[in-house]
Structure 1
């Protein structure tokens, strides 16, 4: 069974030794297990389930469509925006809060 061009799905990456995979939390084996699975097309090979969505283009390339979470990368740090928003809500008197990047190329977060 092949992939259909234009069908958005989770990007799966073959987990080879030459692939620079993200750091996995060794203290959370359930989370780690959820990110990796067996490759049904190549017995013995593992797949990494990324947090990205994409689709196949008719020319065979994959186009990025977005993320499954609200994590951003700023100065080599992966930051979960939702966790910062939750901390903002702990401020006395706060009823709502949001965190965004200042612009597409920003290396700063803005909370309000």
Structure 2
């Protein structure tokens, strides 16, 4: 929310309406609905609990796992696909795709 908020997604009005919602704290303004899940504490702080979607952050890149799955499913030989995160040999997050051909 605030002055730096984008106007929306370019040529994606449905996605814009889904993500850019009325700001309950400032009537007439909008805020961006992220996939972050948080809760308020009694003293007004927010505690981050995780994500409500399948987006992950690997080495600074935000990745939507379902988008990779959708691309895998465009291949004629792939019938089902699941993408998840795993730890690589150096204990860093990496992507792994599992497919049924």
In structure 1, what is the Cα distance between the partners aligned to 2:47 and 2:14? 29
Match of 2:39 among 35, 55, 60: 55
Report the number of matched residues.
94
Structure with bigger RCO (C-alpha 8 Å, 6+ apart): 1
- In the TM superposition, structure 1's runs of 4+ consecutive aligned residues that sit over 3 Å from their partners are 86-91, 94-97
TM-score of the superposed pair, with normalisation by structure 2? 0.67
Ranges in structure 2 where 5+ consecutive residues have no aligned partner: none
Name the structure where strand makes up a greater proportion of residues: 2
Ranges in structure 1 where 5+ consecutive residues have no aligned partner: 1-14
In structure 1, what is the Cα distance between the partners aligned to 2:64 and 2:25? 33
Match of 2:14 among 20, 30, 37: 30
TM-score of the superposed pair, with normalisation by structure 1? 0.62
Cα RMSD (Å): 2.8
1:109 aligned partner: 95
